[in-house]
């Protein structure tokens, strides 16, 4: 990556970038221009950025004027960032969840998380590509593909996907297209792409960050998270979108903080799978080395188990949020909750649009548009390689009619109880004492632990 006014910003942290801005090594306009050049150079191959903000340089210049006038807003002042394409921005850009049908719509306001970042002086570079409709539309789909943004690619292996649904947000941070980015998660959509792209992803507990102005999936499970090249960067970004008085970055202490800490490592179906699976063995060995470093720093590590794990996720550890329904128990399924929530939450989001040229008012309109534009949107099974099953998940959601019946409420109660009271709550106690947390692999276990966390709403 070329130097930015003589400074090598490759892998530079937010703290380092802010120091250079404060010292006058370069301006916010310079930094923004350098990142825009990086996007222009790499994006045709990686398809990480779906749209560049035409006002990015103008915004950066305003940040420079604010700094010159003593109106410094904090560590994010003048720092460029990207947001996933389902996070609304009220500007010249489109917010479409990757779909062509929402092109031309006008949102009433910035998503609240974007409003907060603008208020703190950050510079919005653009929108990132994603798995269209945040992976909600189909049972089988090409991870990281959208009709609007094309197929995003893993920067470390172009033949591999980058995870999803926040694919472009992870890719852009991994390839130095921005300082940090925002993504969303219902189930694995921040943590999986972060893992696949070798960056840090923080998926906050739903409710910790606002989902106002985000194209929804489920109000019970959705959350906005952050991506950074370091834990500190991701935490600083989280501070930027969190309204409370707590600072997550403040809790980033040195390694001394691990002295006396107590962690659990769930074995059954999680670390055990990682240890026994041949393709995961290299990851497992590397992770064991990291666990040893945690021990060497003075922490205790205890083997634990999640009692209800066999009842919640498939035996083979693969991701399937409708697993119980396949066994005849929709009243125990995460997807039972999601499909009802999506029907209702999407209609509410669409009703707030100021302009809506394709007249997309509800899920029935979404389904009809995809069928009428199946060559591009794959509305019919077998017509588009990115969606071999068409839009079967949309169809299931539509058939639910958004009715919160006894099965819906039973499913919500079941997944919460099995993953909370009968899951994490039990695993976090050893010999009557509460642990500080659980340490789990991300993909070496098939993402099992993350599925449980998603269903717990944690």
Query: Residue 116's domain is classified under what CATH number?
Result: 3.90.1300.10
Instruction: For 363-421, write each residue's pLDDT tens digit.
Output: 999 999 999 999 999 999 999 999 999 999 999 999 999 999 999 999 999 999 999 99
User: If you average pLDDT over each of 327-336, 435-444, 445-454, which comes out highest?
Assistant: 327-336
| pLDDT of the residue at 318 | 72
Q: Given a cut of 90, is residue 315 above it in pLDDT? A: no
Per-residue pLDDT, 250: 81
- pLDDT at 375 (0 to 100): 97
* Catalytic residue (one of 84, 339, 396, 418): 84
- 316 has a pLDDT exceeding 80: no
- Would you call 165 a catalytic residue per the annotation? yes
Residues 205 and 272 in one domain: no
Residue 189 falls in the annotated catalytic set: yes
Domain boundaries, position 260: 255-305+428-456
pLDDT in tens, 168-187: 999 999 999 999 999 999 99
Average pLDDT over residues 109-131: 99
The confidence score (pLDDT) of residue 446 equals: 60
Please check whether residue 312 lies inside any domain of the structure.
no
210 is catalytic: no
Residue 4 falls inside a structural domain: no
Question: 99, 165, 166, 333: which one is catalytic?
Answer: 165
Higher pLDDT, 287 or 289: 289
Is 2 contained in some domain?
no
Of 24, 153, 144, 17, nearest to 80 (Cα)? 17
Confidence of residue 31 (pLDDT cuts 50, 70, 90): very high
pLDDT at 280 over 70: no
**Percent of the chain residues topping a pLDDT of 70:** 97
Whether 240 and 334 map to the same domain: the answer is no
The total number of structural domains that make up the chain: 3
What does the pLDDT read at residue 60?
99
pLDDT above 90: residue 274: no
Res. 125: pLDDT tops 60: yes
Side-chain half-sphere exposure of 178, counting CA atoms within 13 A: 35
Does 3 reside within a domain?
Answer: no
Residue 457 pLDDT grade (very low, low, confident, very high; cuts 50, 70, 90): confident
Average pLDDT value over all residues in the chain: 94
- Residue 8 belongs to some domain of the structure: no
Question: Where residue 257 falls among pLDDT bands split at 50, 70, 90?
Answer: confident
For residues 69 and 124, state if they share a domain.
Answer: yes
Residue 444 has pLDDT above 60, yes or no: no
Q: Give the pLDDT band of residue 153 (cuts 50, 70, 90).
A: very high
**Given 189, 308, 333, 397, which residue is catalytic?**
189
Same domain, 382 and 366: yes
């Amino acid at each position: 990556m070329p130097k930015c006014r003589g400074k090598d910003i490759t892998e530079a942290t937010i703290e380092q970038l802010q120091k250079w801005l404060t010292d006058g090594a370069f301006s916010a306009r310079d930094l923004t221009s350098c990142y825009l050049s990086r996007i222009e150079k790499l994006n045709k191959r990686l398809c990480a950025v779906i749209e560049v903000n035409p006002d990015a340089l103008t915004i950066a210049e305003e940040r420079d004027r604010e700094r010159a006038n003593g109106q410094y807003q904090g560590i994010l002042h003048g720092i460029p960032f990207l947001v996933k394409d389902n996070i609304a921005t009220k500007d010249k850009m489109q917010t479409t969840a990757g779909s062509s049908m929402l092109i031309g719509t006008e949102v009433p306001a910035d998503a609240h998380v974007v409003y907060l970042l603008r208020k703190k002086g950050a510079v919005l570079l653009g929108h990132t590509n994603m798995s269209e409709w945040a992976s909600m539309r189909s049972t089988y789909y090409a991870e990281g593909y959208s009709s609007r943004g094309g197929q995003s690619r893993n920067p470390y292996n172009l033949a591999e996907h980058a995870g999803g649904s926040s694919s472009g947000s992870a890719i852009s941070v991994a390839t130095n297209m921005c300082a940090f980015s925002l993504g969303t998660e219902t189930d694995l959509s921040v943590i999986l792409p972060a893992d696949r792209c070798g960056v840090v992803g923080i998926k906050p507990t739903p409710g910790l960050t606002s989902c106002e102005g985000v194209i929804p999936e489920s109000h019970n499970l959705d959350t906005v998270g952050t991506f950074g090249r370091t834990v500190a960067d991701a935490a600083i970004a989280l501070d930027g979108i969190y309204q409370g008085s707590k600072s997550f970055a403040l809790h980033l202490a040195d390694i001394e903080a691990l002295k006396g800490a107590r962690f659990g490592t769930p074995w059954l179906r999680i670390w055990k799978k990682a240890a026994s699976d041949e393709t995961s063995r290299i990851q497992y060995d590397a992770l064991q080395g990291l666990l040893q470093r945690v021990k060497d720093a003075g922490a205790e590590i205890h083997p634990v188990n999640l009692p209800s794990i066999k009842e919640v996720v498939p035996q083979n550890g693969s991701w399937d949020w409708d697993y119980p329904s396949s066994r005849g128990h929709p009243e125990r399924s995460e997807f039972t909750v999601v499909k009802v929530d999506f029907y209702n939450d999407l209609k509410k989001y669409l009703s707030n649009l100021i302009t809506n040229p394709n007249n997309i008012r509800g899920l029935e309109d979404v389904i009809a548009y995809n069928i009428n534009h199946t060559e591009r949107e794959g509305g019919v099974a077998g017509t588009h390689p990115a969606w071999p099953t068409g839009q079967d998940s949309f169809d299931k959601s539509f058939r639910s009619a958004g009715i919160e019946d006894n099965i819906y409420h039973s499913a919500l109660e079941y997944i919460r109880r099995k993953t909370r009271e009968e899951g994490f709550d039990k695993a976090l106690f050893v010999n009557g004492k509460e642990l500080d947390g659980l340490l789990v692999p991300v993909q070496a276990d098939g993402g099992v632990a993350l599925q449980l966390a998603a269903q717990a709403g944690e």
